[in-house]
Structure 1
Amino acid sequence: MLSVRGLSKAFGAKRVLDGVDLDLASGESLVVIGGSGTGKSVLLRCILGLETPDAGQILWQGAALAGQRAAFMDGFGMLFQNAALFDSLPVWRNVAFRLLDRMPRPRAHEIAIEKLARVGLGPEVADLYPAELSGGMRKRVGLARAIAADPRVIFFDEPTTGLDPIRAATINDLIRGIVDETGATAITITHDMSSVRAIADRVALLDQGRVRWQGGVAQMDQAQDDYLRDFIAGRARPMARGPVSAGM
């Protein structure tokens, strides 16, 4: 479904991505992990077209994404880190934001109610404003918006940031359930290992701008990469490390 080949991106003298290679199969849930500043968000922004890579290419269904950007953008959904809801719009219009240009208002409202129900929110929430919602409810509204147009590809940016463990587990379960039900292809970036285990089919670890390790989530705990082991366990490491290994 999606391939990244030799992707590089620098900001001034700082090279954030340094030859990233990734493949994402149709219907697969890939979770990208790594410490702060390892390029996770920049990778996502390059795929979405918000940043222009310095080198490399992104392929969608085997062809250059740059040549089919409009079709790609029409078929993707996004859950932003802080939900990124429009404060001036009621919940249902946030959810139906992309739908209102495609269909009559009553149908868009109907779909918004359906998607809110899918994430565990009743119709009474539809006319509230984001400021009236808890953090967990805002995340669920953001998730409802991400799936409102039945996207083929969904991006999740730190989906559990700022949530307590119970609400985070709820969001993780919702994401996994939605991916399974819809067959959507998913990319999640996170540092939350609970999310990794709940959401991922496959995991990629970014370090020093490259993919240091990738493999199935079931293989993660048996991996021999020391940095991956420390990341999983949350162990502190010296700031300076040796060269990135080839990975799996």
Structure 2
Amino acid sequence: MSPVLETRALTKSFGAQTVLAGVDLAVAPGESLVVIGQSGTGKSVLLKCILGLETPDAGQVLWQGAALTAARRPAFLDGFGMLFQGAALFDSLTVWQNVAFRLRARLGDRKARAVALEKLARVGLGPEVADLHPAALSGGMAKRAGLARAIATDPKVIFFDEPTTGLDPIRAARINALIRDIVTETGASAITITHDMTTVRCVGDRVAMLAGGRVWWQGDVSAMDAATEPHLHDFIRGIWRP
């Protein structure tokens, strides 16, 4: 099966610091890929290069088998969703307006609100939340509202950036379960950036270990515990070597 999204020899430096040193990754249709690694290993930069927020120094991002050029990027962005670290809701908008942010100009407020209420219900938030502002939400509720926004347009590709950061274990487990269920139900391809091994085991089909700007190991989540690659071995066991 051809990948829906792929990076080939992706390289990115900031001054003398090389952050990505030739990253090769591929995500199949309907697959959930989790990218793990310590803080500062290039996970977020990788995501920004895929989304076009950073320009790679070398290498390619491919979408549906062809280079993701400037001309093709609007179509790609029209079919993606993203759950940001910290949810990143707009403080000045109500919850439903946040969820329907990309839909209001296209559908009008009445239809966009109906979609927002449907997506909020999907993540376990009732209509009583719709007209609240983000400041009135708990951390877990804000994450769920952010997840509702990520799926509002029924995207084919969804990105999750540290989806459980700042949540207690019970709320984190709920977010992980929602992500897994939504990816399975929609058939979307997913890329999750995380350092939380519970998230890896819950939401991932495959995992890629990023260290020093390179992918050192990738394979099925079910195979990672038996892997002997040192970076992966130490990371999943929390072993620090000076």
1:176 lines up with 2:180 in the alignment: yes
Query: Could you tell me how far 1:11 is from its partner in structure 2?
Result: 0.2
| Distance in 2 separating the partners of 1:87 and 1:211 | 37
Runs of 4 or more above 3 Å deviation: none
**Of the candidates 63, 70, 78, which is equivalent to residue 74 of structure 2?**
70
The answer on whether the counterparts of 2:209 and 2:231 sit within 8 Å (CA) in structure 1 is: no
Match of 2:162 in 1: 158
Unmatched tracts of structure 2, length 5 or more? none
Match of 1:100 in 2: 104
Query: Could you tell me how far 1:55 is from its partner in structure 2?
Result: 0.2
1:2 lines up with 2:12 in the alignment: no
Query: Could you tell me how far 1:104 is from its partner in structure 2?
Result: 2.1
1:144 lines up with 2:145 in the alignment: no
1:14 lines up with 2:29 in the alignment: no
| Distance in 2 separating the partners of 1:122 and 1:103 | 22
Match of 1:226 in 2: 230
* TM-score calculated relative to the size of structure 1: 0.95
- Counting only pairs closer than 5 Å after superposition, residues 16-95 of structure 1 correspond to structure 2 as 16-66=19-69, 67-95=71-99
The answer on whether the counterparts of 2:99 and 2:146 sit within 8 Å (CA) in structure 1 is: yes
| Distance in 2 separating the partners of 1:7 and 1:104 | 40
The answer on whether the counterparts of 2:19 and 2:212 sit within 8 Å (CA) in structure 1 is: yes
1:203 lines up with 2:207 in the alignment: yes
Query: Could you tell me how far 1:227 is from its partner in structure 2?
Result: 1.9
| Distance in 2 separating the partners of 1:142 and 1:104 | 21
Query: Could you tell me how far 1:168 is from its partner in structure 2?
Result: 0.2
Q: Secondary structure of the residue that 2:40 maps to in structure 1?
A: coil
- The amino acid that maps onto 1:137 is M
Q: Secondary structure of the residue that 2:120 maps to in structure 1?
A: helix
| Distance in 2 separating the partners of 1:145 and 1:28 | 21
Query: Could you tell me how far 1:82 is from its partner in structure 2?
Result: 0.7
Query: Could you tell me how far 1:76 is from its partner in structure 2?
Result: 0.3
Query: Could you tell me how far 1:230 is from its partner in structure 2?
Result: 1.1
Q: Percent same amino acid at aligned positions? A: 72
- The amino acid that maps onto 1:116 is L
Match of 1:243 in 2: none
Match of 1:118 in 2: 122
* Number of corresponding residues: 238
Match of 1:188 in 2: 192
- The amino acid that maps onto 1:45 is K
Q: Deviations over 1:134-153 (max 9, x none)?
A: 00000000000000000000
* TM-score calculated relative to the size of structure 2: 0.97
Q: Secondary structure of the residue that 1:160 maps to in structure 2?
A: coil
Query: Could you tell me how far 1:57 is from its partner in structure 2?
Result: 0.4
**Of the candidates 230, 233, 239, which is equivalent to residue 235 of structure 1?**
239
